[in-house]
Amino acid sequence: MRKKKKAFTLIEMIMYLSICSLIFLSISISMNFIQTFKEKLNIIEIKDSIHNFLIESKFLCKEENMDAEIYI
């Protein structure tokens, strides 16, 4: 008697490769989304920092009764 070799069929290989590619694609898309979201948060943080600086400067000038200019 001959022993049958255990092997994968073509359909099993195609299913395995398609599942792996879907997993890789979803990870790639999520990493891209996370990177974009991180950049947006950084921009918002910088904008808020500049806004707070301007508000505090305005408040200080009003408190001290003086004029000031901010040059960019």
Residues 6+ apart with CB under 8 A from 67: 61
Please report whether residue 61 resides in a domain. Answer: yes
pLDDT of residue 3: 72
Domain count, the chain: 1
pLDDT of residue 38: 94
Q: Is the pTM of this model over 0.75?
A: no
Please report whether residue 53 resides in a domain. Answer: yes
Please report whether residue 4 resides in a domain. Answer: no
Look up the domain containing 69 and give its range.
43-72
Environment class of 51 (CB within 10 Å of its CB; exposed 0-12, middle 13-18, buried 19+) = exposed
Q: List, run by run, the mean pLDDT of 10-residue segments along the chain (72 residues).
A: 75 94 94 94 95 92 85 74
